[in-house]
Structure 1
Amino acid sequence: MTSRTCISLVLAIALAATAHAAEPPRVSPATDAAEAGLVEIGALSPHIEMDIRYATANNFTGARVPGYEAPSCYLLAPVAKALAQVEQDLRAQGFGLRVYDCYRPVRSVQAFMAWVNDPNERSRKAVQYPDLEKPRLLADGYIAERSGHSRGATVDLGLLDCRSGGCTVLEMGTDFDFFGPRAHTQTTGLSEAQQANRQQLVRAMARRGFVNYPQEWWHYTFQPEPDPGTAYDVPVR
C-alpha cells in the first residue's frame, strides 16, 4: 500500500466517523448479549488477559461503573474474531494482549457524563488527569457523549511480554485512561522502549483491521464497523 493510499484510507475513515458522530446511532432493543450479537472474547481466545477496570473502583470515576456487572469483554462477532487473530499473531511472537474495556453499555457512557458534570467528584484527579480540569476532558476528546464502544467495535488494550514463560505488562508511558498529551499515541517525552511498544501495538492491531484513536494509545476501532448505526445497552455480565 502506498503512502498516498494510506492517507486516503485514513481520511475516508475519519470522514465516515464524523458522519456517524453527527447522527446518533439507534439504541438496539436487545436485552442480552446473545440477542445483540455480542460475543465474549474468552470464548474465542481464552489466553487474552482481562483487566476490565470499569467493573471495579479502579477507574477514573473512583467507583464501579453502572452497566458493568462482571469483568467481561464482549464485542460484535466479526470484531471478536479479528481481536482473537491479533492475540494469535502476537502469541506466535512471544507477546499477548491485556484488555481494559470492550463493549460499553449506553448507560455507562451516560454515567461518565454525569461524572464529568459533577465538580465535587475528583478522587482520581491526581492519578488520571492531573493537568486537566473536567470540562477539558470533554473539550479535548477524552470523554464523549456517545462512544464507539457502545457499538461493539472498539476495544481498549495494551501489550504483554510472554517470552520468558509468564506474561508481564509492557511499559507504554502511561496507564490506561490517563487523560493528557502524554497518552497520545505519538508524543514526546517517552523512552525509546515505550514508543516502540506503542508502535508494536499499532502494527499488530492494524494487521487485523483495527485503527488507533491518536489521543489514546490503548484505543482501537475495527474498520469497517459491522453496524455503525446501532448502539447497545445490555449490561456486561
Structure 2
Amino acid sequence: MPRLAAALRGLAAAAAALIAVAAVPSDAAAGTAPHRPSPSSHPSHDPKAPREFVALRDVDPTIIQEMRYATPHDFMGVPVTGYRAPMCLLTQDAARALHRAQRSFLRRGYSLKVYDCYRPQRAVDHFVRWAEDLGDQRMKAEFYPRVDKSTLFRDGYIAEKSGHSRGSTLDLTLVRLPALPTRPYVPGEPLSSCYGPKAARFPDNGLDMGTGFDCFDTLAHTLDPRIKGTQRAHRLLLKDGMERAGFVNYPYEWWHYTFTPETFPDTYFDFPVARRSLVRH
C-alpha cells in the first residue's frame, strides 16, 4: 500500500508482468484528489454509491467472503473505519468478471475467496492514522514481524490513497472445495508470523500461497523466487485464472488484482461498506 511514485511503478510493473523483488510499493495509485466528504456518524448523511456499484453476493453468491477489515483480524487489530458490514462491494464490470473467473475455478474444484473489495477513503485514512501511531504494534508479530513500523510509509506499505477506493480492485485467494470454515480470530491470542509454514500461521482455508494475506514482507511478491514448488504453483493458478477474466495482478502482493479497464480510473470514493450504500433514491 505505497506512496504515489511507488504505486505508479507498481501499476506499470503489473501491466508488464514484471518480477519485482526489491522494495515493496503499495496499492495506492495516481489520480485526482480523493472523493471524500467528511465521514458522518449518521448513516443518512453518508454518500451513496454510484449505480455502477453492486454487492458481489448479488452477482455471484458462490464466491466465499471473508471480509477481514470488518473484523479485528487485520494488521491494526481492530475493525476498520467504514466497514459497517462484512460484504464485498465492487463495480458491476469487476463483479461480472470475477463471476467469470469463479465459474472457471469451480470446474476445477476450487472457489475464490475475497478478503477485501471496495475500500472507502475513510478506511485508508484510518490506516494512515494507525501508521503514524508508532506505539500501537499489537499485530506486529503476525503481519509485519521483520518490518519497523516507522518505515511503513517510506517502504510503501501504507499510503494516503488506494486503488481499492475506485471500486475495481480486490484482494483474494483460492480455496479447495469442499471448503472448511476458517475459525474466527480471538483478540489477544498468540500471534504467528505471516510468512512461516502454513501449519504455523493463523489457520486459513485458502491454498498455501507461501504467506498469509496482508503480509508486509517481500515474500508476498507474487513471483518472489524464494517461493517455489506447490506454493508457487498455487500463486500461478490464481494469477492465470484472474488474468483470463481480465484482471491484472499487483506484483508486490499475490492477493491483489484490478479489473481493467477500470470503471472509475480517477475517482476515489468514500461511501461506507454497507447495503444501505447501494440504496437508490
TM-score by length of 2: 0.73
Query: Taking structure 1 as reference, are residues 201 and 52 closer, same or farther at Cα in structure 2, changes over 3 Å only?
Result: same
Is the contact made by 2:13 and 2:251 (CA closer than 8 Å) also made in structure 1? no
Q: Give the structure 2 partner of residue 199 of structure 1.
A: 236
Distance 1:187 1:8, change over 3 A: closer
Structure 1: which 5+ runs fail to align?
1-6, 13-19
- Letter of the 1:89 counterpart: S
1:31 to 24, 43, 47: 47
Give 4+ residue runs of structure 1 displaced > 3 Å after superposition: 20-23, 165-168
Helix, strand or coil: the match of 2:170? strand
Question: Which digits, 9 at most, give the CA deviation of each residue in 1:124-179, with x for residues without a partner?
Answer: 111100111123322222222100000001000001111xx445421111110000
What residue is the counterpart of 1:142 in the other structure?
A: 157
Once the 2 structures are TM-superposed, how far is the Cα of residue 9 of structure 1 from its aligned partner?
9.2
CA contact (8 A) 2:36 2:121 kept: no
Which residues of 2 match residues 153-232 of structure 1 at below 5 A? 153-162=168-177, 165-166=178-179, 168-232=205-269
8 Å Cα contact 1:28-1:230 kept in structure 2: no
The match for 1:4 is none
CA distance in 2, matches of 1:24, 1:209: 24
Matched residue, 2:20: none
What is the distance in 2 between the residues matched to 1:8 and 1:120? 34
CA contact (8 A) 2:29 2:163 kept: no
Structure 2 residue runs of 5 or longer lacking an equivalent are: 1-11, 18-27, 38-45, 181-204, 275-281
Whole-Å Cα distance in 2 between the matches of residues 166 and 176 of structure 1? 18
Tell me which residue corresponds to 1:58: 73
Q: Determine what percentage of the aligned residue pairs are the same residue.
A: 43
Matched-pair contact (CA < 8 Å) for 2:34–2:121: no
State how far apart, in whole Å, the 2-side matches of 1:140 and 1:166 are: 35
- Give the partner amino acid of 2:136: E
The CA deviation at 1:37 is 2.6
Between the aligned partners of 1:190 and 1:51, the Cα distance in structure 2 is 25
Q: Which has the higher strand share?
A: 1
The structure with the largest helix share of the pair is: 1
Whole-angstrom distance in 1 between the partners of 2:154 and 2:131: 11
Q: Deviations over 1:61-96 (max 9, x none)?
A: 110000001110000111111111111111011111
Change (3 A) 1:37 1:28: farther
The match for 2:15 is 10
User: Whole-Å Cα distance in 1 between the matches of residues 250 and 35 of structure 2?
Assistant: 23
CA distance in 2, matches of 1:155, 1:231: 14
How far residue 231 of structure 1 moved from its aligned partner, in angstroms, is 1.3
> TM-score w.r.t. structure 1 length?
0.87
SS of equivalent residue, structure 2 residue 156: coil
Structure 2 letter corresponding to 1:24: T
Relative to structure 1, is the Cα distance of residues 166 and 26 closer, same or farther in structure 2, using a 3 angstrom cutoff?
A: closer
